[in-house]
A and B are shown apart, each in its own frame.
Chain A
Amino acid sequence: MGTIRTSDRGRAGARDIAVWDPLVRMVHWGLALSVLVNGALTDEDGIVHEWVGYAALGLLAIRLLWGIVGPRPARFASFPPSPGAAVRHLGGIAGGDRTVHLSHNPLGALMVYNIWLTVAALCATGIMMGSLRFFGVDWVEEAHEAAFSWLMISVVLHVGGVLFDSRRSGVPLARAMLTGRKSVPADRPVV
């Protein structure tokens, strides 16, 4: 991973750098799909809703393991949660810095951890709601609803951030999550 090849068919002067391995991509789109399915399609009290919830938890668990054993760009060490770095990154954006980050940029990293935590909270409260001990307990249900609302806000911010950073850095980020390769314009510094 992290290897560079000059793109033959891509835009002229762009370097194609492999960043997202297939497992990262499958987990990403699988999680997105399960959020979509459970948020919009399934019956909230149904068994399918529960299964999809467990699937989301499974995907999350896979990703967390992969964050330890996976290749460099997938590892937690490549995108530590650092509010300080995120603030500096914001300052850099304001100052016209167009550095390209090969893994998540510091703001994106915060969003990643935020979404993982929120999904974990959703799964935990969801499992509790189905358990005998917490069945029908109000605060659990309220926490589940609140976590879902927060997840929707996060998804909007996430998609907005991806669109914004694709324009700012000139790297089509959504495509990178599909193909695994970031196509970085030749004149951009890379971190």
Chain B
Amino acid sequence: MTGRDPQARRAATLAALIVAQGLCAMFFVGDVIADIGVDVAESRFHLPLEAFVATVMIFGVIYFMIELRRLLSRMAEMDTGLRAARGDMAGVIERFFDDWELTPAERDVALMVLKGIDNETIAAVRGTAPGTVRAQCTRIYGKAGVDGRAQLLSVFMEELLAED
């Protein structure tokens, strides 16, 4: 599921980088530990250099971690925003249906029409004859004051795109 969207991929890449760099840092730290107490001529510069590299890499890891946390919280916010928009849209649809005084059966059919389900399928889902669904649709369009499916949809599209 990590490949679901670009942001999730970015998060996974960042996490992989953190793991890789963390392990590299660990390698240097391990080498520093192994070198302590070993008296080699070159270790006078070797040890401080390794310690420096390890420190730089650890700071890099922390920096990446902060970036990853930011990215994750942005993703969470977007998710919440989308859900809120979806929730609002459901509310808007309900309000229109109330205004048009649709019966419960008509609301059911209207919602399926909005979702783009064809009449035969709606009939099958509701266990009624296709003719019944067609009649219900006609009543829905009449109550809504539109000509058909496309116009019914446009009522809600307009609501979505309206600027005020």
Seen from chain A, the residues whose Cβ lies within 8 Å of a Cβ on chain B are 1-5, 18, 21-23, 25-27, 30, 54-55, 57-59, 61-62, 65-66, 69-71, 127, 130-133, 179-181
Task: Tell me which of A22, A54, A62, A69 contacts B66 (CB under 8 A).
Answer: A69
Interface residue SS majority, chain B:
helix
Interface residue SS majority, chain A:
helix
CA distance A61 to B73 in the complex (A): 23
Task: Tell me which of A3, A22, A23 contacts B80 (CB under 8 A).
Answer: A3
Tell me if B123 is interfacial: C-beta within 8 Å of chain A: no
| A170 CB to nearest chain B CB (Å) | 20
CA distance A141 to B17 in the complex (A): 34
B residues near A3, Cβ cutoff 8 Å: 76, 79-80, 83
Task: Tell me which of B26, B34, B69 contacts A71 (CB under 8 A).
Answer: B69
A residues near B26, Cβ cutoff 8 Å: 54-55, 57-58, 61
Q: Are A21 and B15 in contact (CB under 8 A)?
A: yes
CA distance A181 to B26 in the complex (A): 30
Chain A residue nearest to B79 (CB atoms) is A3
Seen from chain B, the residues whose Cβ lies within 8 Å of a Cβ on chain A are 1-2, 8, 11-12, 14-16, 18-19, 22-23, 25-27, 30, 33-34, 37-38, 61-62, 65-66, 68-69, 72-73, 76, 79-80, 83
Chain B residue nearest to A22 (CB atoms) is B15
Chain B residue nearest to A25 (CB atoms) is B15
Known: A23-B19, A62-B22, A65-B65. 7 other contacts (CB 8 A): A21-B11, A58-B25, A59-B19, A69-B69, A70-B69, A71-B72, A127-B33
Q: Are B15 and A26 in contact (CB under 8 A)?
A: yes
| B15 CB to nearest chain A CB (Å) | 4
Q: Are A21 and B68 in contact (CB under 8 A)?
A: yes
Q: Are A22 and B12 in contact (CB under 8 A)?
A: yes
Q: Are B69 and A26 in contact (CB under 8 A)?
A: no
| A87 CB to nearest chain B CB (Å) | 33
Q: Are A23 and B18 in contact (CB under 8 A)?
A: yes
Q: Are B23 and A58 in contact (CB under 8 A)?
A: yes
Chain A residue nearest to B12 (CB atoms) is A22
| A147 CB to nearest chain B CB (Å) | 19
